[in-house]
Amino acid sequence: MPDVESQCEGFRHAREARRNVLIEDYVELIDDLLTEGQEARQVDIADRLGVSQPTVAKMLVRLVAEGFVTRKPYRGIFLTDAGLALAETVRARHQLVEEFLLALGVDAVTARLDAEGMEHFVSDATLEAFRTALKTGVLRR
């Protein structure tokens, strides 16, 4: 067992990360919706996330407060520069994790599901290790 301080620090770190999961998911999804050309409406976001529209409305208040999105009334949601930057980081990470799982031989459906959960907890260092493994091709079957 690790010493109390490290373990405690680890758990604190994980709790901290958990608080950002929703924000990351929203920002990534909004960016995807905008990139696909359609507008990002509350109802679209709600459908994609599988939650109700009021739930989305409440989260958007938070996203606006934290400076990631702006809203044009009845015209949908838009990303600020900070939101765009976050979206790009998150999407790149998400894709890399999913690609890595696929390269490992995990089936497509599982890779998608697992990546959705894991992505938020993969550090830059680990991401770099994934990237290296992919590049050197050691995982190919």
Binding site for DNA (CB under 7 A): 15, 19, 21-22, 41-43, 50-55, 57-60, 62, 71, 73-77
Strand pairing partners for 137?
none
**Contact (Cβ atoms closer than 8 angstroms) between residue 74 and residue 60:** no
The mark string for 87-106 relative to a second copy (x by CB under 8 A, - otherwise) is: --------------x--xxx
Verify binding: residue 48, a second copy, rule CB under 8 A.
yes
Residue in the block written with tokens 């679209």: 44
Give the length of the chain: 141
**Contact (Cβ atoms closer than 8 angstroms) between residue 102 and residue 66:** no
Strand pairing partners for 79?
69
Task: State the residues that interact with a second copy by CB under 8 A.
Answer: 1-2, 4, 6-15, 17-18, 21, 25, 32-33, 36, 47-50, 101, 104-107, 110-114, 116-118, 120-123, 125-126, 129-130, 132-133, 138-139
